[in-house]
Amino acid sequence: MKLRHKKQKRLGSVIKPYILISIATKNLLDKKLRTMLTMMGIVIGVGAVVFLISLALGLHGVVNQQVLGTKSVNTIDVSSPNANTILLNDANINKISQFAHVSSVSPAYILPGQVSYQGSVADTVVYGTTNQYIALSALKFVAGSDSFKTNQDAIVDTALLNIIGQSNPDKAIGKNVDIVTSVTTATGQMKKVKSSLTIVGVLSIGSGAEVYMNDQAFTNAGAALFGQLKVVADKRADVAIIRQQIAGLGFSTASPLDTLDQINTIFTIFTFVVAGFGGIGMVIAVLGMFNTLTISLLERTSEIGLMITMGARKADIARLMIFEALLLSVTGGFGGILLAYIVGQIINIVLTSYAGGNGVQGTIHAFSVTPLLVLATIFLTIVAGMLVAFYPSKRATRINPIDALRYE
Amino acid sequence: MNSDVVINPTKTDSTSSQKTGDGIIKVSNLHKQFDTKGGSVKVLENINFEIKDNSFAIIFGPSGSGKTTLLNILSGLEPPTQGTVEIEGEDFYSVSSDQRSLFRAQTMGIVHQVNYWVKSLNVLENVAMPLYLTGVDRTIAQKMAMQNLEIVGMQEFAHSRPLVLSGGQQQRVSMARALVANPQLIFADEPTGNLDSKNGKMIMDLLLKCQRELNRTIILVTHNIEYLPLSDTQLYMVDGKITQSGKGQNVPMTEIINSLKSELAELSKLEKDQQ
């Protein structure tokens, strides 16, 4: 026998954790109805929080998708606030392309012009550009190709087709149109540019009539000023500094990040608000759990006294209470996540089906349970379990075994 | 009979707590009082004795004499107000309560008069609990628990809940639980108090077997004078003091008669109260 355990100055719990978990489980199952009701409270509380946050995340995603489409957030649109004094020409574009972390630059001539088709003539905006610029513009194509194959290819929008009397985009593919526009040369002369083009693609913009054609014809005519430049940064974090540098040259810049930031701000507030509403349920559930554990401790006072007489230490008793709290909170947490996920998915399916019936394509993710949300919820349920267990476990370790055995 | 007990009830010198060779428990100048609303109540006063290894000691005396409090102090559950309890020469109360708990788990088995259980666990797991608390794996602990249930003839109830058993059966299981960790010291507080004669005899036989065949030290608190001849060490307590002590079977008959008179007086008082 050795009374002093010199190598073990701070005595921890030596009972195997799996045995403690097993005892904690049996203690909970011994009062099935009470445990089930407490756990249901946690399931509903956690479920409400996850459900509402997943709604906020889902709507955030839907709005982002609608606003940004397939636009790259690394893209910066550059234009001149005053085309006569701040020139968006080859020299300045060359300067911009030399900035650090600029991946590529794609300029476009943007000019007023006229389009003729089978005797019909209409005013239009003419873009003289490259396939890269079109790709970066994230345009929505409804027919044909989304790029030029030759210098005689044209991409037109549905508004233009309507004006020239061709409402079916598929039938417009392969048709010839004549484009007339004027460019300003480096010497300030106006020069007319005529092009006969074949429609290879139709896009839906929703604004006025637009034609996209290869910039070669304008370059050959000596056009000196571009209407817009798309600058692609290496990564999202570089966008701000590149914008500052471009602004230093006098140009105006716009980025999808501007919109994205506004959306993020709104949805962050929205997420906190809905989480707060859900949190009320969660607080009630946690109080229920606290009540259950405290009653359980009172009921088992003599059992704890018995365990101490048999040699249980403070750490053993505290851990038993903590395991019981964690079993309740984590199991309830998983149940809540599952409940919120299932309900969210059902609503997503119903919304997608309803939207499909009204001609909207694609899946609607109004509720989005992300891995981060799952991990954060599990972490919070663990924290809640530990907090709830704190008082009962502290109280349990202060129990006098002799008084406890007399408790009943 | 060996001289297993060294008693000096009148001794007050607290400096006499020296190592005593093969003495397993040495109590010196022990006092215990409880503070109540009406003031302090002295429960134990100037207790001095020594119990050697492999003894069968009986603490004997009328109700309210302080026997159970003394047993609780000896088992490390109730700190004394004054004095020392030495286990193998080391002051039991100079270490932390956690160290006492670990020591208790490893070396002490306790049988209570009333049976206490972890109600959510079955008989086998309740018996295995002292082993769990010393870090033994479940499989090994339950195997050892089953062996101990076989010793007390309760193996067929291993998977029952303890509360469905009769009082005698529960006490036998309680005995198995006290023995499962193979403790050097066994404390028994009126273990046969609520039992019929058959079950009582079985418990006493087991305690005797532990002492005589397994060389364990037994400290038994009892009212029952029939058990006195089984012991080799007797401590007779009245009003919180050891008034007589003996070694072997030498407790004077006058003390036993006094004790019986006291019990009878209590019984007649109870009868009168009921009338």
State the ipTM, two decimals. Answer: 0.81
Find the angle CA(A387)-CA(A321)-CA(B127) to the nearest 5 degrees: 175
pLDDT (average), residues A312-323: 91
Query: So what's the pLDDT on residue A70?
Result: 60
CA distance B225 to chain A (A): 26
Label residues B117-154 b or e (16+ Cβ within 10 Å = b). Answer: bbbbbbbbbbbbbbbbbeebeeeebbebbbebbebbeb
Domain definitions of chain A by residue range:
17-68+262-405, 75-254
Q: How far apart are CA A286 and CA A385, in angstroms?
A: 8
Residues A1, B106: C-beta atoms closer than 8 Å: yes
User: Model confidence at B79, in pLDDT bands (50, 70, 90)?
Assistant: very high
Give the DSSP letter of residue B195: S
Contact between B102 and A315 using a beta-carbon 8 Å cutoff = no
Look at residue B189 and tell me whether its pLDDT is greater than 50.
yes
Probe site for chain A from B54, B98, B114 (most A CB atoms < 10 A): B98
Q: Which chain B residues are Cβ-neighbours of A401 within 8 angstroms?
A: 77
User: B14 versus B116: which is more confidently predicted?
Assistant: B116
Using DSSP's 3-state secondary structure scheme, residue A49 falls into helix
pLDDT tens, residue by residue, A132-143: 888 888 788 888
The most confident of the ranges A103-117, B122-136, B229-243 is B122-136
Q: Which of A309, A319, A402, A407 to mutate to test the interface with B (most CBs of B within 10 A)?
A: A309
Tokens at B42, concatenated = 């002295």
Chain A residues whose C-beta is within 8 A of a chain B C-beta are: 1-5, 11, 14-16, 18-19, 22-23, 26-27, 29-30, 300, 302-303, 305-316, 401-402, 405
| Residue-range domains of chain B with CATH | 5-12+21-274 (3.40.50.300)
CB B63, CB B118: distance < 8 Å: no
Which pLDDT value is given to residue B252?
A: 57
Euclidean distance between CA atoms A363 and A375, whole angstroms: 25
What is the dihedral angle through the alpha carbons of B47, B50, B54, B55, rounded to the nearest 10 degrees? -50
Phi, psi (5° rounding) for residue A121? -125, 135
pLDDT band at A2 (very low <50, low <70, confident <90, very high): low
Place of tokens 């010839």: A176
Distance between B172 CA and the closest CA of chain A, angstroms: 17
Find the mean pLDDT for residues A324-343: 94
Which amino acid, A284? I
Range in A294-303, A364-373, B73-82, B191-200 the model is least confident about: B191-200
Q: How confident is the model at residue B21 (pLDDT cuts 50, 70, 90)?
A: very low
Contact A242, A104 (CB under 8 A): no
- Considering only residues 197 to 236 of chain B, which have any Cβ-Cβ distance to chain A shorter than 8 Å? none
**Chain B residue with minimal CA distance to A18?**
B138
Q: State yes or no: pLDDT of A3 exceeds 90.
A: no
Nearest to B98 among A2, A26, A314 (CB): A314
- Checking if the pLDDT of A355 tops 50, the result is yes
CA A119 to chain centre: 49
pLDDT(B39) > 80: yes
Give the mean pLDDT of A94-102: 91
Q: What is the pLDDT of residue B149?
A: 94
Sequence-separated (6 or more) residues with CB below 8 Å from residue A269: none
B143 touches chain A (CB under 8 A): no
| CB within 8 Å: A14 and B135 | yes
Is pLDDT of B178 > 90? yes
Q: How far is CA A175 from the centre of its chain?
A: 41
Express each pLDDT in A67-86 by its tens digit: 666 667 788 999 998 877 88
